[in-house]
Amino acid sequence: MGKFVEIKDLSVSFKVSGGLFLRTIGTIQAVNNVSFSIDKGEILGVVGESGCGKSTLARLILRLIESNSGSVTIDGTDIFKMSKKEMRQQRRHMQMVFQDPYSAMDPRYTIFRSLVEPFKIQNVPLPKAEKRKKIDEILELVGLSTEQGFAYPHELSGGQKQRADIARALVLSPQFIILDEPTAALDVSVQAQIIKLLEGLRERLNLTFLFISHDLSLVSYFCDRVIVMYLGRIVEIISADLIGNTPYHPYTKTLIDSIFMTTPGKRNQIPVVEGEVPSPFNLPAGCVFASRCHYVKSICREQNPALEKTVENGQVACHFPLN
Amino acid sequence: MDENNVSEHKHKPPWLVILKRLFTNKMGVIGTILILCLILVAIFGPLLEPYSYKEQNIEIMNQPPSSGHLLGTDDFGRDVLSRIIRGARISFVVGVLSVAISVLIGVVIGSIAGFYGGVIDLILTTIADLTWSMPAILIALLFVAIIGAGLESVVLAIGLSYWAQYARLIRGQILSLKSAVFIEATKSMGASDFVILFKHLLPNSISPVIVAATIGIGNAIVLEATLGFLGMGAQPPSPSWGAMMSNGTAYLFISPWMIIFPGLAMMITVLGFNLFGDSLIDIMDVKNKEYL
Amino acid sequence: MSFLKVSDLEVEFRVDKNTVKPIEKVSFEMNEGEVLGMVGETGSGKSLTAHAIMGLSSLVGGKIRGSVKFEERELLSLAEKEMQSIRGSQIALIPQNPMTSLDPVYRVGDQIVEGLYKHVKISKRKAKLQVLDLMEKLRIPKPDRVFQQYPHQLSGGLKQRIVIAMGLCTNPRLLIADEPTTALDVTVQAQIMRLFKEMTVDKGIGLFLITHDLGVIAQVCDKVAVMYAGNMVEFGKIETLFNTPRHPYTKALLECIPYIGMKKGTLNAISGSVPSTATYPSGCRYHPRCPHSEPQCENEMPPFINIEEDTQVACHLYQEKKG
């Protein structure tokens, strides 16, 4: 049996124009040859810093941006080959929860109205009472009261808005949900509430998640497997319980070392990592991480390492993987 | 944050909320009253006119305000008050119609430019800028030359010269909203461009246009008067305020009331629209928390 | 001589005929060369505390009461002019969000020099040399080049270093940093924090660090104050607070934070949400969410008292023990 979601060779580049006559002055390879798969019911995490392409990846998978190459197969169907009409139907099965709860809903619509909209757009032939019932159920599922359903977005707190956004993603009963930094803008205690909510939803509704975040601790806790991205490429795919002890890629190790632990026993060990993520313009040849890697050798600057399997069935793209 | 706000008030329908807010804004109240007066006078004019606006009576020409003729008479012995009342109707119709034309053209062009961007945007924006830089007077002259003088020319001229500002407003709003998360969310649900434009982008972008349009009505009335003053507007015996003022210049030192009163009427009307328009900015903000 | 002593600090605003006190009964002490952390979630009042210490709240229509003694000098009783000479020279504030602290139309180097000018009388040439030297210490690559650049040409991490330079250029005695790394990538955050420690503690400058990130607090600070809904609920040494948190909120907050290796499903959330300023509960502001809540908690606000050396808590649980 094949995987539930198969991503093959996704790539996209953006032309950047500037100057007096809006000439193209450069290209940014936002996502570069990304391939991976997701099992049904799995929570796959994608972690990386700004510019790594994780948000762009999400939009490529949902075909909100068109990819330059590759394919996305969901439950056996290659959605890149679909016509516009078929794609509209397909969207029922794959939804997204967005990063910014503050502008994720039309400010002029009540939450209720925003939740009814997916039904309208997809022309779901349910009688009004049925729709109302389904929405009430979903509101309860995400922990919002009917009263909050009738509120406008600006009347809700950040956590409540995020719940509303999750509710909207659930309306069409999708099987696959991509969450793009759903808790980045929230306080840590609210984040915990949302994560618990997501844990519960995954159980109840047998959902498959692609969870995008910059927070490695959160991703390693919540997800089953983790993809680490850097400058548009996957550098490592690893099981969440192995991350702490045996990361293979130096960048993964860097991310781990950058975490500030809440255990004061490790005090005064503020992690040292040099440099910043280089500009995505005119990427140097060779490994994308070469400019900042502690273990860099000359081959790293010349040849881009391919993704290879690790002992534990993960993957790593490095000429000299750790361990 | 303010989760308690929700239970504090059950949701009143939006129009009721707007109405209530209107009453708390002093300037808005004054503006509304003035506009209502104009509307009432425009509708019920014929009933209010003490005399017929075109009834001529040479014997009582150029008479100052008196008990019989509250605002005096003009050079044809016509009652100034009656003419002003009838003129209100003209001003109102011209103001509203010309702005309606402008807004319609502006919103359509601005939406297309903002939504599709690229070359289309470039072309449409250039056209808008060209129109913007042409004085309404010149366009009016053009129409007078083609259609002949009269109210129709004036309405068309004003309507066709001022759409650029509405186009710009809508375009700007749409450009900034296009990348909002909720627009992306709607796309991810499978919404067509049509739905996104009409159900989300436009409703969220229309407020500044409404405000500008309200103030624009005032401007249109003044412009009508200017064109009328130049003899391009409504033709005699039509009592447009502009025509009245134009007519009255010759008699400035004989019967100044022929100019003063139409001028005052215009001033009050425009003031009303401006006050109302200004108050709309606050009132129409969905996020304004001054619920009653 | 005590370095910084804050007693019963409160800020009062009048909103629509009601008085609200977004911070109330805030008291703590800080020693020279120490790093004091203030942690809290949105609406806890931590930024407001920093502004109140700098005497800035009055500019926004708030009344500040209580006592803020800096090197034995009562700051709250100073006239605005006197405060202005202290602000920026002896006490410097690094505000949130470097993107908005820098004026986009001036070169960054000039902006730092301007800060220096206001307080120190030296020649332009000397000022520039000092600033370049400082930039080098802050590990800004090619300082003379960066000096000439405009904010939009710099990355987030660089902009933040510039803002830090602005704060440090006058050699202040106390540096208040308000969420200095929130908008930055995790690897950059690690670098900046290390810098902070080097530039302040090593030079005997006191650092008052405000953040919502408990991990940063654990690694960087010596003492920490925990804020909730405008009150200080706990204060103590890092080891004490993280190993044996006293206040129920502190305990709950620590349990909300995911870490690598955490067992799945064990993340705890705090039920309910932070009250808004207008709707603070009576008595202890945390009582509606506290598992140990008693009737006394609803009726009486617990005083902030010393229960051990250098440990203070505001909770009735500890009052009873004292008898």
Residue B277: the pLDDT is 83
pLDDT tens digits, residue range B66-101? 877 888 888 888 888 888 888 888 888 888 999 999
Asked whether this complex has an ipTM greater than 0.95, the answer is no
Does residue C41 sit at the A interface (CB-CB below 8 Å)? yes
pLDDT tens digits, residue range A261-318? 888 765 556 666 677 777 777 677 888 888 888 888 888 888 889 999 988 889 999 9
Q: Between A215, A216, A270, which is nearest C190 by CB?
A: A270
Cβ contacts (< 8 Å) between C279 and chain B: which residues?
A: 4
State which H helix or E strand residue C145 sits in. helix C143-147
Q: Across the interface, do B286 and A107 touch by the CB < 8 Å criterion?
A: yes
Task: Judge whether residue B150 has pLDDT over 80.
Answer: no
Cβ contacts (< 8 Å) between B11 and chain A: which residues?
A: 110, 150
- Local structure of residue C181 (DSSP, 8 states): T
More confident residue, B65 or A205: A205
Stretch 166-225 of chain C: residues touching chain A, C-beta under 8 Å? 185-191, 193-194, 197, 212-216, 218-220
> Which percentage of chain C shows pLDDT scores above 90?
25
Q: Between A159, A255, A272, which is nearest C273 by CB?
A: A159
**Residue B106: C-alpha distances to residues A143, B171, B194, C185 (Å):** 44, 9, 18, 44
HSE at residue C87, side-chain half, CA atoms within 13 A, is 19
Chains that touch C (3 or more CB pairs under 8 A): A, B
Closest B-chain CA to A154: B287
A314-318, B28-32, B85-89, B147-151: least confident range: B147-151
Stretch 4-23 of chain B: residues touching chain A, C-beta under 8 Å? 5-7, 11
Q: How confident is the model at residue B1 (pLDDT cuts 50, 70, 90)?
A: very low
**Residue B219: C-alpha distances to residues B88, B99, C305 (Å):** 15, 9, 68
- Distance CA(B5)–CA(B11), nearest Å, equals 11
Residue C320: the pLDDT is 55
- Concatenate the DSSP letters of all residues of B76-120 into one string: TS-BHHHHHHHHHHHHHHHHHHHHHHHHHHHHHHHHHHHHH-HHH
Looking at residues A96-117, what average pLDDT do you find?
89
Query: What's the gap in Å between the CA of C34 and the closest CA on chain B?
Result: 34
Neighbouring-strand partners of residue B73: B79
Does residue B119 sit at the A interface (CB-CB below 8 Å)? no
Q: Kindly report the backbone phi and psi dihedral angles of residue A304, in degrees, each rounded to the nearest multiple of 5, phi listed first.
A: -80, 120
Stretch 164-183 of chain A: residues touching chain C, C-beta under 8 Å? none
Using the Cα atoms of residue C108, residue C114, residue C120 and residue C123 in order, give the sign of their dihedral.
positive
State which H helix or E strand residue B217 sits in. helix B202-229
Query: Per DSSP, which regions of A75-215 are E strands?
Result: 77-78, 94-97, 176-180, 208-213
CB A40 within 8 A of CB A60: no
Q: Which one of C219, C238, C243 makes the best mutation probe of the A interface by having the most chain A beta carbons within 10 Å?
A: C219
Whole-prediction pTM value? 0.84
B211-215, C100-104, C218-222: least confident range: C100-104
Closest C-chain CA to A269: C219
Closest A-chain CA to B207: A108
- Distance CA(C146)–CA(C142), nearest Å, equals 6
CB A291 within 8 A of CB C141: no
Task: Judge whether residue A25 has pLDDT over 80.
Answer: no
Residue A181: the pLDDT is 93
Q: Across the interface, do B4 and C279 touch by the CB < 8 Å criterion?
A: yes
Q: Which one of B4, B6, B186 makes the best mutation probe of the A interface by having the most chain A beta carbons within 10 Å?
A: B6
Q: Which one of A64, A86, A90, A154 makes the best mutation probe of the B interface by having the most chain B beta carbons within 10 Å?
A: A154
Q: Across the interface, do C273 and B3 touch by the CB < 8 Å criterion?
A: yes
Cβ contacts (< 8 Å) between B4 and chain C: which residues?
A: 276, 278-279
Amino acid identity, position C171:
N
Task: Judge whether residue C157 has pLDDT over 70.
Answer: yes
Looking at residues A155-176, what average pLDDT do you find?
92
Residue A202: the pLDDT is 92
